[in-house]
Amino acid sequence: MKTPLELDEEEVKILRDFERGEFASITHFKETKRELEEAAHDFLQKDKRINIRISSHDLEALKKKASKEGMPYQTLISSTLHKFVTGKLRSVE
């Protein structure tokens, strides 16, 4: 007897959408994949370095938050700045 899979909420939604036929094959998959990978690489290319001065208190707080997220603090800073410039960072005011 097989044990049923335990799916999380997102996996259940994906399965439901698949069963309803809401997924379609991509024509020219390899070419499309290559183009998307190239675009992502170009977009995510980190080719500039900056130096900033911040308070030691803020830096320690950033390091703690990054540690909780399981990432280097520089990555957290870069990600936060990216979200800000792309309008994806929401104010908590």
- Show me where the domains of the chain are located: 8-45, 54-93
Q: 76 near 68, Cβ under 8 Å?
A: no
- Please tell me the pTM assigned to this model: 0.52
Predicted local confidence at residue 69, as pLDDT: 92
Closest CA to 52 of 12, 24, 80, 10: 80
Taking only the tens place, the pLDDT of each residue in 28-86 is 999 999 998 888 887 777 788 899 999 999 999 999 999 999 999 998 998 898 888 88
Residues 6+ apart with CB under 8 A from 83: 89
Euclidean distance between CA atoms 43 and 38, whole angstroms: 9
